[in-house]
Amino acid sequence: MLDLDLPAQAQAVRSVLAQHGPRAALAMLNDRTGFRFTALYKLDGGEMRAVHAYDRTSEYRTWLSAVPLESSFCRFAIEHGEFMTEHASADHRLARPYASLVESYYGHVLRNADGSPSGTFIHFDLEPRSIDAEEQEFLRELVPLFGEHLA
């Protein structure tokens, strides 16, 4: 097994975020997974609005731009701090309206200085995907850095 230097990888993400911005850092984090999309969504009233998105296939879809909060998996990430489903259409926790286009999702809430939710960092795909516990821990350390990029 490879000896991965996670602190060095975290520093590399921090450096890319500082020098090249959020889209480059999202691409870097996306490359660590099998997910097609990685994005920052801003909570705007009753909607989640895409502020920065990376599509691994470079076929960015207009439907990624805004989603009603109540129809979004981001709702669960905001409620619980973090949410994951590997296979939405087979996930017994989800009601039928959630079993549609997005099949897999990992989301982590972003917070304002006062602790209120400001948006989410998400990986998602149209196909079933998973994310391992080590990667989730890695993201828990880095996701808060993206909060200032929701403006």
Q: What is the pLDDT of residues 21-76, one digit of tens each?
A: 999 999 999 999 999 999 999 999 999 999 999 999 986 665 567 888 988 899 99
Q: Is the pTM of this model over 0.95?
A: no
Q: Label the pairing between strands 47-55 and 104-111.
A: unpaired
Domains of the chain: 6-149 (3.30.450.40)
Contacts with 89 (C-beta within 8 Å, 6 or more apart), sequence order: 99, 103
Q: pLDDT at residue 2 above 50?
A: no
| Paired strand residues for 149 | none
Helix (H, G, I), strand (E, B) or coil at 128: coil
Separation between Cα atoms, residue 33 and residue 35, nearest integer Å: 5
